[in-house]
Amino acid sequence: MVYRILPFRSYILLLTVQWHGNGMYIAMALLGNLILFIPLGIIISKIIKRNNVLIAIGIGFLCSLMIETYQYFSCVGTFEVDDLIQNTWGACIGCCLGNIANELCNGHMRNKNVYPIVGCWIVLGGCCIISMLQ
């Protein structure tokens, strides 16, 4: 059972290691955890209309906690507090993006066309960032 409970440990490592060594791996792991939960936040913004950012933070944290707890007890991965932080931020960012999309589409588009567009932009942005890291 492996765990890392020091908050922001990955950020400290990222600032202290060389980029072409472990730095690129750490950055990609942090970015991957962030991007992983953005769709959850977008879905929450679509389903829940009031106070949805706080709800997205709570649901994102609880889902991430379940994943990290499973990794800890099954010895499949490492329980990391940084993963909890990044996943929760991802859900929060996704909810904010969903709220923006909802506001933009309240007029003539009525939400049905915006989610594939937002999803494509997220995937495209992630691919661009990953390609720059390599």
- pLDDT value at 59 more than 90: yes
Q: What is the pLDDT of residues 75-110, one digit of tens each?
A: 887 888 888 999 999 999 999 988 888 887 776 555
Q: What is the pLDDT of residues 14-24, one digit of tens each?
A: 667 665 666 66
The reported pLDDT for the residue numbered 99 is 87
Per-domain residue ranges of the chain: 2-133
Whether the full predicted model's pTM is greater than 0.75, yes or no, is no
Using alpha carbons, list the distances in angstroms from residue 6 to 3, 32, 110, 126. Answer: 9, 20, 44, 27
